[in-house]
Amino acid sequence: MRIQYQELCDTLSSILEKRGMSHSDAVLSAHLFADASRDGVYTHGLNRFPLYVSYIDRGFIDVSARAELESRVGLIERWKGNKGPGNINAHMAMQRAIELSHESAIGVVALRDNNHWMRAGNYGLQAAENGCIGILWTNAMPNMPAWGASDARIGNNPLVIAVPYKDTPVLVDIAMSMFSYGKLERYAMEGRECPVDGGFDEKGNLTKDPVAIARTRRLLPMGYWKGSGLAIALDLVASLVSGGRTTKDIGELEVETGVSQFFMAIDLSLFPDRDEMERKIGETLEFIDSSDPVKESVKVHYPGEGMRRIREESMKLGVYADESVWEKISGLI
Amino acid sequence: MRIQYQELCDTLSSILEKRGMSHSDAVLSAHLFADASRDGVYTHGLNRFPLYVSYIDRGFIDVSARAELESRVGLIERWKGNKGPGNINAHMAMQRAIELSHESAIGVVALRDNNHWMRAGNYGLQAAENGCIGILWTNAMPNMPAWGASDARIGNNPLVIAVPYKDTPVLVDIAMSMFSYGKLERYAMEGRECPVDGGFDEKGNLTKDPVAIARTRRLLPMGYWKGSGLAIALDLVASLVSGGRTTKDIGELEVETGVSQFFMAIDLSLFPDRDEMERKIGETLEFIDSSDPVKESVKVHYPGEGMRRIREESMKLGVYADESVWEKISGLI
């Protein structure tokens, strides 16, 4: 089913206000969820909203708490999340990194003790909308085995890099696992295989079968040992610089909460060759888009470009929502 | 064959001095090559030295030129490489980022117009040896198709993250291709398959056959679309912030030269909880290392840990060198 974007935002924000969130925060949080689904990232948009509300109801998320500055170390600001809503806190932290970058060309905010920030890409787009490169990542609970291991001891720690470009920025938003559990579930529901190997089956062989992977819980790191190593490094940098929990520490909690995040912005508008940059980005993206496609019918797109079509469709026809998800959300009003 | 580390350094540096490089620079460059082979990264150690020398002989590398500060934008320093030796320039840029981080906790140097920096991991280790987190990457000539494309229009743009820890820092040093051409060549020479899919064969199917991949030149990005996207984003950030060439621009030159690089250091010694960090890193690495291994006989290691064994062996028995490579190098004296 499809729901108009504004109706979606109104519904979500009223659910949050009912739970004591201030009007302006509820509107922001609702938009962050709606934006994810609008852009096609359903797993961290509407599909995740009921869990977010249940975390409010169970007290893991404090609707009136907000992230705040804890200390400064040189130019790096360390913030703490105070159990506030993860997406609102992350939005604040990114905004602060952007502000800092307006002064020093580069701004870094490390945020500890935050809740799950939902769709990572939102904060990359936020940087790009403010004329900044955004580089950010989060750690997570242990949900993936390290390369060579069979038990989950590292996080899938999503990494985002965004580069502003006209109305369609470059947006890379990648978890360190090849597929999330949400994606595996969707493939299983649709009776489809993963497009590439996504994990291991019970015999320890790589497989595209989403059901077999969900059974072993042995997700494959993207790029095998490469994604495994990157996940470990990103976890350490975020938790050290923020002074917050490592993936290991998060695993000792009841649910995934109190994560560590790293936000960096680079303000391109301060550079004297800003106009030249626009040409350079355009040429690079055009060069990539005009690659010879493997399948003649499938044009090559730069990362973030495909999202635009989904977004336009969502704004015209309404945002796609799974009926069962929308039923659940409607029950929260 | 094996050659004592010091002998190796002396041989390489005398070859460089003979070509007009100053004594101290020749020693530094020789060490950077020797360190790569010492740590097992032969493709960017000794194996690459003859090409480096040929670039000096052909005038692509100017042995007496050095990178220099071009401008400051806020806290970011923009340096230019002036066709100097890529590894020496990169070492200078990383050292400057480290210096800057001693003042501001974070230091960023973007370097344009540099030559190939050889082994990327060296500069991560350099940061770690100075008590800093190091995050750095380079772009490259077009050598890999974007995801969905069949012709090479993106670079394999290696990314490094290093985190200091005792005498064995965490070191992630990953190209955005699943395997380099150097690695494919080695597998082919040894009559082995790649351990995982490394590219496409002539029918457009994923394959582990290194010969088939070398034939199509369709390298597989690590993590498929993920490595492809990341390569594009890293290229843009390095070239925009440095004001240097994009991968597309580099592809228009006669050989791979004039690349753009990004160096970031975070000085952990400035943080009041530095001691706590040491405990946190140790616990995380111990947690990973004590994972249940897939094969009982193969212990899980954190990234950078395996290198230590190779290094110890190299320092004890001598650094491994391929005989044909050593013969080539000996011919340059």
Known catalytic residue: B91?
no
pLDDT exceeds cutoff 90 at B93 = yes
The secondary element (H helix, E strand) that includes residue B129 is: helix B121-129
Q: Does the pLDDT of residue B185 top 90, yes or no? A: no
Task: Tell me the pTM.
Answer: 0.97
Asked if A174's CB is within 8 angstroms of B300's CB, the reply is: no
Nearest to B153 among A170, A277, A288 (CB): A288
- Rounded Cα gap, residues B294 and A216, in angstroms: 12
Confidence band, pLDDT 50/70/90 cuts, at residue B175: very high
Matching residue, tokens 């690590």: B222
Residue of A nearest to B103 (CA): A74
Q: How confident is the model at residue A322, as a pLDDT?
A: 92
B149 CB neighbours in chain A (<8 A) are 288, 291-294, 300
Catalytic residue, from B31, B44, B91, B116: name it. B44
Q: Buried b / exposed e across B83-96, counting CB within 10 Å, b at 16+?
A: bbbbbbbbbbbbbb
Given the residues A44, A102, A116, A301, the one annotated as active site: A44
CA A189 to chain centre: 23
Sign of CA dihedral A147, A252, A72, A127: positive
Kindly give the confidence (pLDDT) of every residue in chain A, 333 residues in length, as a single tens digit, with 9 standing for 90 and above. 999 999 999 999 999 999 999 999 999 999 999 999 999 999 899 999 999 999 999 999 999 999 999 999 999 999 999 999 999 999 999 999 999 999 999 999 999 999 999 999 999 999 999 999 999 999 999 999 999 999 999 999 999 999 999 999 999 999 999 998 888 888 998 999 999 999 999 988 899 999 999 999 899 999 999 999 999 999 999 999 999 999 999 999 989 999 999 999 999 999 999 999 999 999 999 999 999 999 888 999 999 999 999 999 999 999 999 999 999 999 998
* Interchain contact, A75 vs B76, CB within 8 Å: no
Q: Tell me the torsion sign for CA atoms B209, B233, B173, A152.
A: negative
B307 touches B171 (CB < 8 A) = yes
Residue B305 pLDDT > 90, yes or no?
yes
| Of the partner residues A196, A249, A268, the one whose CB lies closest to the CB of residue B240 | A268
Give the rounded distance of the alpha carbon of B249 from its chain centre: 21
| Predicted local distance difference test score (pLDDT) of residue A183 | 86
pLDDT at B296 > cutoff 90: no
**What is the pLDDT of chain B when averaged over all its residues?**
96
A144, A224, A300, A307: best to mutate for the B interface, most B CBs within 10 A: A300
Residues A255 and A117: their CA atoms lie apart, in Å, by 14
Please, which residues bridge with residue A172 across strands?
A: A161
B270·A227 Cβ contact <8 A: no
- What pLDDT is attached to residue A186? 84
Mutate to test the interface with A, among B197, B252, B287 (most CBs of A within 10 A): B287
- Does the beta-carbon distance from B283 to A248 stay under 8 Å? yes
User: Can you tell me the ipTM of this complex?
Assistant: 0.97
Q: Which pLDDT value is given to residue B204?
A: 86
pLDDT at B180: 85
Pairwise CB contact (< 8 Å): A145 & B281: no
| Residue B194 pLDDT grade (very low, low, confident, very high; cuts 50, 70, 90) | very high
Confidence (pLDDT) at B183: 86
Q: How far is A249 from chain B (nearest CA, A)?
A: 9
Give the one of B234, B243, B266 whose C-beta lies nearest to A241's C-beta.
B266
For residue A106, the chain B residues in CB contact (below 8 A) are: 74-76, 106, 108
Contacts of B121 in chain A (CB under 8 A): none
Q: Please report the pLDDT score of residue B186 as a whole number.
A: 84
pLDDT, mean of residues B146-158: 96
- C-alpha–C-alpha distance, residues B188 and B194, integer Å: 9
Residues of A in contact with B301 (CB under 8 A): 148
Considering CB atoms only, which of A227, A236, A283 is closest to B223? A227
